Amino acid sequence: MTYKRLSAMDSAFVQLESPSAPMHVAGLMVFERPAKAGEQFVRKLVDDWRSETRICAPWNQKLRSPSRWQLAPVMEETFDPDLEYHVRHLSLPKPGGERELGQMVARLHSQPMDMRKPLWECYFIDGLEGRRFAIYVKFHHALVDGISASNLLMRGLSESATDHRMPPFWVHPAPEKPFQMSAARGLPSTQALLGTAGKLVRLFSSDERLTTLRSAPKTAINGAISAQRRFATQAFELDRLKTVASRAGVTLNDVMVTLVGGSLRHYLKEKTALPETSLTAAIPMSLRSEGDQSIGNSVGMIYSMIGTNIADPVLRLKKVSESTSIAKEQILDLEPQMRTPYSILSMLPSIASMMTGAAKHVAPMFNTVVSNVPGGKKEKYLRGARLLHLYPANIVFPGLAVSFTCYSHAGFLNVGIIACRDTLPQMQRLATGLEDALSELERELGISPALQSVDEVG
């Protein structure tokens, strides 16, 4: 039997697991049935997948010890998965609209995983109006980050609408991490260690230019969380976002962070809970080398203001771009081998406060998470069914009640918003607020609004 010891970053997600904060991420894939598919298309697909017992890593990996109270968790392989447990078939109540889908996904995302089993679950969701169906797949975050999770799902889809032989996700093995010849192998230099220490000191201090872990104000979305979740989505045509980014001379990611800032500004202002200083966001940043599609977590973390204290949307975008640029310099100026240790050390106080229960009482180190997972440009199909959207669902933590995650696919940027149900009532307003914030930017930049395609799950 093969064993694998988890990295420090992967292990943290095992150690943080709790009933009110389960540490799994997920993807909600919405498909359009093939033109000639009958009403039993999804039923037959589920039966077919359950009969496929070939299984590859990481789908066959489970914790040797399911307890969170371990310093160095180890994964072991199993070759006899209970597919009746891991693959489930659900159906929406009529009318099978976005509201019903969102309620079902929110409930599924609220349920902790059984840590004794392989750390994934797959739900086929039938009865979605407009000849559509959905697949919700969740993985424990100890197994994957956003990029590796999307790679696992995309490997189970085809670029051909006529390919009806594609086996289930778990038959496709994940690539191994590519071998890297690097001068950085071995112990870091004294200069690298001192440089990293200096940047960590700066990150935990007050700084006029850099958004630090002391910049976040205490807000209504930062406090105790309960076990239940809300889930909402929004989809934007990528061309709209690219037009705004080009006109303003910023990155696509800057635009998305600014839209989150605009949405949270309006949401908190409506509730008379908007702080005078800007909310801040933790923004995961991939540290993978080119071509690395291996599983596991390989991310750095940068921190940025999101402009909730700025009424002018164009000025907000400018300030967000400046803030993210300085934050990227902070980590990219490090020696490559020190970027992961720097990110882990920057998150240690947050992890400690979450594990001890102090997070709901102390000032937050950041207010939300805004993550952007790159996808593909080509259409994808599951046995002839076209993938319309893939909406990510992330984690919320004690002291951090809402998270925004983006995924690009075939001309759309799909945004999944996950939040604590009790802390953020009427959370669907954050989804519509993203569209409002984009329209404001387009108007102020003199961009004519284009026809929009929006898919919202409340």
Q: What is the end-to-end Cα distance of the chain in Å, rounded? A: 44
Q: In this structure, are residues 259 and 434 in contact, taking their beta carbons and an 8 Å threshold?
A: yes
Collapse the DSSP code of 243 into the 3-class scheme (helix H, G, I; strand E, B; otherwise coil) and give the result: helix
Neighbours of 250 (CB within 10 A): 20
- List beta partners, residue 77: 61
Give the integer Cα–Cα distance in Å for 347 and 132: 40
Region of 9 (left: φ > 0; alpha: ψ -120 to 50; beta: rest) is alpha
Chain centroid to CA 392: how far?
A: 5
Q: Is 72 exposed, middle or buried (0-12, 13-18, 19+ CB in 10 A)?
A: exposed
Q: Count Cβ atoms within 10 A of the Cβ of residue 449 and give its class: 0-12 exposed, 13-18 middle, 19 or more buried.
A: exposed
Q: Which residue has the tokens 């180190």?
A: 365
Amino acid identity at 129: E
Helix (H) or strand (E) run with residue 91 in it: strand 87-91
> Catalytic pick from 141, 172, 266, 409?
141
**14 neighbors 63 (Cβ within 8 angstroms):** yes
Q: Which long-range contacts (CB under 8 A, 24 or more apart) does 183-190 make?
A: 184/335, 184/336, 184/337, 185/337, 188/335, 188/337, 188/338, 189/335
Q: Which residue bears the tokens 């239940």? A: 228
Q: List Cα–Cα distances, 58 to 30, 48, 97, 139, in angstroms.
A: 24, 21, 33, 10
Active site residue 141: yes
- Angle at the Cα of 102 from the Cα atoms of 307 and 440, rounded to 5 degrees: 30
Of 372, 375, 384, the residue nearest 31 (C-alpha): 384
Give the whole-angstrom CA distance, residue 331 versus residue 340.
9
- Based on C-alpha coordinates, what's the Rg of the chain? 22
Bond into 95 cis (ω within 30): yes
DSSP 93-153: PTT--HHHHHHHHHHHHHSPP-TTS-SEEEEEEEEETTTEEEEEEEEETTTB-HHHHHHHH
By annotation, the residues acting in catalysis are 141
